[in-house]
Amino acid sequence: MNMEKNTGPAGEGPVNPALRRPFDGHENWFEQVYTHANEDVNKVPWARRSNTPLLLSWLEGQRLRGSRTLVVGCGLGDDAEALAEHGLEVTAFDVSPSAIAWCRQRFHSSTVDYQVADLFQLPAAFERGFDLVFEALTIQSMPPSMHADAMAAIAACVAPGGTLLIICFGRQPDEPTDGPPWPLTREELERFRHLGLQEVRFEEHMEGGARLFLAEYSRAAL
């Protein structure tokens, strides 16, 4: 089913000219990245870094089969497919029409419901509509001025009794924030606790010299 695997190490691969453009609005910027990639996975930097091993490790021992699941900023769909293969009912969205078309081409027999959607203008049906919300490397891909609104939009999708799982690049508060990407601090992630969620787990991993955070949150059941 998978036409091409995202196996290249992060930081390698041909340069995508769209990455040199100023961040002039999330819809246009991301669409340009995918358009200029010309269906070359190695020209999409976040696609070259697979989050699937961390995701699969987290899934071990979870009882989520059949759970309504949302993948935020799904990119080229690898994480969405991993979740679907574990028996979850997956909806995955990206703001880039080219990214979603690419997902449908790569996984043409997929059970995942791939949709074009804007994180900041999500369908009303998404509000508190998912048992599991998974976000990897999306918040950090936008400037810090957009992080609070992005986190609020993501948290709003978690159903009562549901779970939010975040995987992101991490940094210490005194480390520089030049981007993209703009890694998150643990203090920034604390915002989810002020959005009605409770922290369940926090892990820090080092991968190729980069710091990765995995954070799990839950919303109280009704």
Whether residue 1 is predicted with pLDDT greater than 50 in this model: the reply is: no
Rg of the chain over Cα atoms, rounded to whole angstroms, equals: 16
Give 49's pLDDT tier (boundaries 50, 70, 90): low
Per-residue pLDDT of 121-144, as tens digits, reads: 999 999 999 999 999 999 999 999
**Higher local confidence (pLDDT), 53 or 6:** 53
**Higher local confidence (pLDDT), 120 or 39:** 120
User: What pLDDT is attached to residue 154?
Assistant: 99
User: What pLDDT is attached to residue 101?
Assistant: 96
User: What pLDDT is attached to residue 48?
Assistant: 57
Q: For residues 87 and 67, what is the distance between their CA atoms, to the nearest angstrom?
A: 8
Mean of pLDDT values over 90-110: 96
User: Residue 211 CA to chain centroid, in angstroms?
Assistant: 16
Q: For residues 92 and 197, what is the distance between their CA atoms, to the nearest angstrom?
A: 22
Would you state the structure tokens that stand for residue 43, as one six-digit string?
A: 């020209």
Mean of pLDDT values over 2-25: 44
83, HSE (Cβ side, Cα atoms, 13 Å): 29
User: What pLDDT is attached to residue 50?
Assistant: 62
pTM, to two decimals: 0.88
Per-residue pLDDT of 137-189, as tens digits, reads: 999 999 999 999 999 999 999 999 999 999 999 999 998 888 788 999 999 99
Rounded to 5°, the CA angle 206-146-183 comes to 10
Would you state the structure tokens that stand for residue 170, as one six-digit string?
A: 């991490």
CB 31 within 8 A of CB 73: no
Q: Enter the CATH code of domain 50-218.
A: 3.40.50.150
